Amino acid sequence: MPDTAPAPPSPLGIAVPHRELLDQLFDKWSPQVLELLCDSPLRFSELRRSMPAVTAKSLTATLRRLERNGIVERLIVSSRPVAVEYRITPLGKTLREPIDVLLEWIGTHMAGVESARARFDREEVTG
């Protein structure tokens, strides 16, 4: 089994596929979808109800990308009326840890970031 990449965690600038994946994981709606599906499988319309700001087109695109990356899976539950269920895959579940670590960082340091912003903006105006 080519279980590749044992340790060195940082070909950040070079690794184009890594960038692409990163972009998809942190695109506009994926994090929220992941969060919702983490709790339980949901149907398309249930996702829409939970995300009032997203359009059908964008949600579809988001789900397709996640599905393509193996993060989410799409199951047709019944036809007429069509019912489709989205659920997180085992691979997708493993994403929770890194995402939660990131969210914890934000939770811990957001205040610091915001005061830095305030200082920066103030000095910009003041000179």
Choose between 68 and 109: whose C-beta lies nearer to DNA.
Answer: 68
| Helices 30-39/56-68 angle, 10° precision | 70
Three-class SS of residue 28?
coil
11: number of CA atoms within 13 Å, CB side? Answer: 8
Q: Is residue 21 exposed (0-12), middle (13-18) or buried (19+ Cβ within 10 Å)?
A: middle
In the complex, minimum distance from the CB of residue 28 to DNA, in angstroms, rounded to a whole number: 3
**Contact residues for DNA (CB under 7 A)?**
27-29, 43-46, 53-58, 60-64, 74, 81-85
Which parts of this chain interact with a copy of itself (CB under 8 A)? 2-5, 7-10, 12-13, 17-19, 21-23, 26, 28-29, 31-32, 35-36, 39, 51, 53, 67-71, 91, 94-95, 97-98, 100-117, 119-121
